[in-house]
């Protein structure tokens, strides 16, 4: 099964994840997260399937996150509201996000990728 790989080509972490997947012959379909950001509904599904809190989906080190003062906006926000904010701008989303429709990883840690995407 081909994975969906939400990424930003200029992102160093995304490039490392892409290289890892190619070296390990993991099939993936790349989706440019800024040009084609996931919808609010898709983000809600990704959050649900990842088992992670919605706040973990924010690119907290990103310029837009700081400029728009997202930290304060999401302090008391619910999951629906956070998903709406994330869907509004792909640059706010932590990347890469990889999913097979059942499992979801956010960010790139080689150990996690090996455990989730090679052991399936």
Model confidence over 38-47: pLDDT tens digits? 999 999 999 9
Sorted by where each begins, the domain ranges of the chain are: 3-118
Separation of alpha carbons 6 and 74, rounded Å:
22
Size (the chain), residues: 120
Share above pLDDT 70 across residues of the chain, in percent, rounded to a whole number? 99
Q: Which residues contact 48 (CB under 8 A, 6 or more apart)?
A: none
3-118 falls under which CATH superfamily? Glutaredoxin (3.40.30.10)
For the stretch 26-71, pLDDT in tens is 999 999 999 999 999 999 999 999 999 999 999 999 999 999 999 9
């Amino acid at each position: 099964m081909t994975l969906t790989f939400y990424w930003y080509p200029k992102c160093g972490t995304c490039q490392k994840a892409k290289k890892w997947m190619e070296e390990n012959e993991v099939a993936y379909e790349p989706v440019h997260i800024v040009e084609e950001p996931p919808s609010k509904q898709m983000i809600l599904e990704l959050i649900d399937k990842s088992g992670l809190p919605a706040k973990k989906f924010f690119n907290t080190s990103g310029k837009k996150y700081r400029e728009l003062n997202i930290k304060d906006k999401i302090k008391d926000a619910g999951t629906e509201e956070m998903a709406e904010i994330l869907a509004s701008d792909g640059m706010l989303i932590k990347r890469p996000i990889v999913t097979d429709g059942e499992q979801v990883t956010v960010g790139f840690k080689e150990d996690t990728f090996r455990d989730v995407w090679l052991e399936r």
